[in-house]
Chains A and B, each alone.
Chain A
Amino acid sequence: MLDKTGIAKRIAKEVKDGYYVNLGIGIPTLVANYVRNDIEVEFQSENGVLGMGPFPFEGDEDADIINAGKQTITTLPGASFFDSSMSFSMIRGKHVDLTILGAMEVSESGDIANWKIPGKMVKGMGGAMDLVASAENIIVAMMHTNREGESKLLKKCSLPLTGVACVKKIVTNLAVLEVTKDGFKLVERAPGISVEDIIKATEGKLIIEGDIPEMSI
């Protein structure tokens, strides 16, 4: 089974040379740490920066330079700042190559819910609805089940949706799956996890064809 870092490491392998990438808050943020350093990638943050770098050294932090998680950051050579309207032109206009975000639930048809638990948590969708409605290459980073062991990969989402039929790939602590028109297609198993474990943890329709390889990280 993978921990959050393991999920981030596996997703990092999906990041290709020349990609502009938008990372959501949580596990997705960790992905930046594990991208191969022999490829050129630029990270976009929807509050208005392309070419994000690591956190600043102590004492160098600037209140005017933050990421979408409101954390102080730095920029790399080639970086640019822009306003929110242009930022979402990059997103809706499909100029961003890859979007990685977290989810509370995903359905077998690719619906995603990650912004609201009625009566409990209402923080807002931020840029998530714009991202999932437009991006063609969306990878979801999530735990396969909740704390009670119930599947978060469902036939139908129970929480309010963020977007419909938009998720293409999911990396969980147990598996890598692709969303196809027929359901979740199992692509890889996490180290030490059997196909049976994944079947047990998946409520939505799971497609298993041939031998499922163990993922390499």
Chain B
Amino acid sequence: MINKKVANINEAMHGVTDNMTLMLGGFGLCGIPENAIAHLVKTGVKGLTCISNNAGVDDFGLGLLLHKHQIKKMISSYVGENDEFERQMLSGELDVELVPQGTLVERCRAAQSGFPAFYTPAGFGTEVAEGKETREFNGKMYVLEKAFEADFAFVKAWKGDEAGNLIFKGTARNFNPAMCGAAKITVAEVEELVPAGTLDPNQIHIPGIFIQRIFQGEVYEKRIEQRTVRKKS
């Protein structure tokens, strides 16, 4: 067994410096690497380019990094839940690249899988396709999109083992699997880290080969963005 477990979060985050490009898993606040984000806030590393579907909310998730002006550029598909984000974007402090959601995840997966680029129909005829190569296949037009290049990927899983194998829960899976192995170093944080041999190999979502470092997060707030319920009748 090749052991990916690191002693603590400092070791997990070692090597993250100013002006790096980071991938961060999650959809809204669901499945975000909370402990990695908290550590980035603490260290004050800045000039970051963040690839993440959303930008958190004003006081949680990537919103915490935005608040401290640590992010130079965001690459996301939807950023509508964050007032500070909007303010920084409209004032020009923050550079933003909006990418269709399916293209965003596939640009991660392409980096993971060794594809330099791929064609997608998403965004053809819109401003997303401006300046990009387009091509017709079977009478339909497609846009050439390129794989991301990132220094670190921070992902969050439900359970993991010391070999780096990961299991996700519910819709907290989202962007996390495609980001594993899509950057030079992938750091996985999990709610429960178990010894190798504990997890059933049939149930593994992401094999440890894609992960360089794994640790158990100290605490998970798992904040709910839109609490919608019905009354028990």
Contacts and interface: CB of A to CB of B under 8 A. Distances in A.
Interface residues of B, number: 59
Most chain B CB within a 10 A radius of its CB, from A67, A127, A162 = A127
Interface residues of A, number: 52
A92 B137 CA distance: 14
Dominant secondary structure at the A interface? loop
Contacts, number: 181
Interface string B31-72: 100000000000000000000010000000000000000000
A208 interface: no
Most chain A Cβ neighbours within 10 Å, of B90, B126, B128, B177: B126
B98 to A, nearest CB: 5
A61 B227 contact: yes
Contact of B224 (A63, A85, A123): A63
B125 interface: yes
Interface string A131-144: 00110000000000
Interface stretch (A4-12, A48-56, A175-183, A198-206): A48-56
Interface string A103-130: 0000000010000000000111111111
A64 interface: yes
B120 A125 contact: no
B173 interface: yes
B22 interface: no
Interface in B75-113: 76-81, 86, 89-90, 96, 98, 100-106, 108-109
Interface stretch (B7-15, B164-172, B194-202): B164-172
| Of B79, B158, B173, most A-chain CB atoms within 10 Å | B173
Interface of B: 27-31, 53, 76-81, 86, 89-90, 96, 98, 100-106, 108-109, 120-128, 158, 168-178, 205, 222-232
Given A64-B171, A122-B98, A133-B124, 5 more contacts: A84-B27, A124-B79, A126-B77, A126-B78, A165-B125
14 contacts: A65-B170, A66-B28, A67-B171, A81-B170, A83-B176, A83-B178, A122-B89, A124-B76, A124-B98, A125-B128, A133-B123, A160-B127, A161-B126, A164-B125
